[in-house]
Amino acid sequence: MTASTGNAAERKVGVFEAGDIREWRGHDVVDSEGHKIGELEAIYVDTSSDLPAFATVTVGLPTRHRLVFVPLAQATVGPGYLKVAHGRKQVKDSPSISTDGELPSADEEAIFKHYGLTYQPGTSGERQLARR
C-alpha cells in the first residue's frame, strides 16, 4: 500500500494498489476514535480516476450481515486495521446493500449525499463508482 509519511504505527493512506486491496479484505475497519465498525469487504473506485474512493464494511448481526459504504478520503492504516475519518454511527447509518448484492447505479448518489460529498456521474450518465 502506498502511504505518505507518518509514524510507524499509523500512516495516512495514499493510493491503494490493486494487490494491496485484496490483502486488506477482512481486516477491521475502525472509526476516527478507534471504535470497531466492522470488517473491510471491498473497495469501490472512482471511475473517472480509477482511484479508490469508498470501501464497503461488513456490519450487523452474524445472521443479518449487510455492507455499508464509507469514503476512503483521509483514511489511515495501522497494524491490522483501517481507520476511516467518519464516526461509527454515521458509517452504520449509511446506505447499504446485502452481502451478496450489487450497488444499483440509482443508489450511488445517496451514498455521496450521506457523507456530504458531491456526486458527479459521467457526462453520458456513467456510474461514478465501480467495485474492485
| Strand ranges (E), 47-128 | 51-59, 66-71, 76-78, 81-83, 96-98
SS3 of residue 95 by DSSP: coil
**Per-residue pLDDT tens listing for the chain (132 residues):** 433 334 444 545 454 554 465 677 889 999 999 999 999 999 998 988 888 899 999 998 878 899 999 999 998 888 889 999 999 999 999 999 999 889 998 899 999 999 999 998 877 777 889 888
- Residue 121 grid cell: 456521474
pLDDT attached to residue 22: 60
Residue 3 in domain: no
- Tell me which residue range forms the domain holding 42: 11-131
Of 77, 75, 108, nearest to 94 by C-alpha is 108
CATH code for the domain of 84: 2.30.30.240
Percent of the chain with pLDDT over 90: 50
CA distance 50 to 42: 14
Could you tell me the pTM of the whole model? 0.82
pLDDT attached to residue 101: 87
Q: How many domains does the chain have?
A: 1
Residue 2 in domain: no
Residue 6 in domain: no
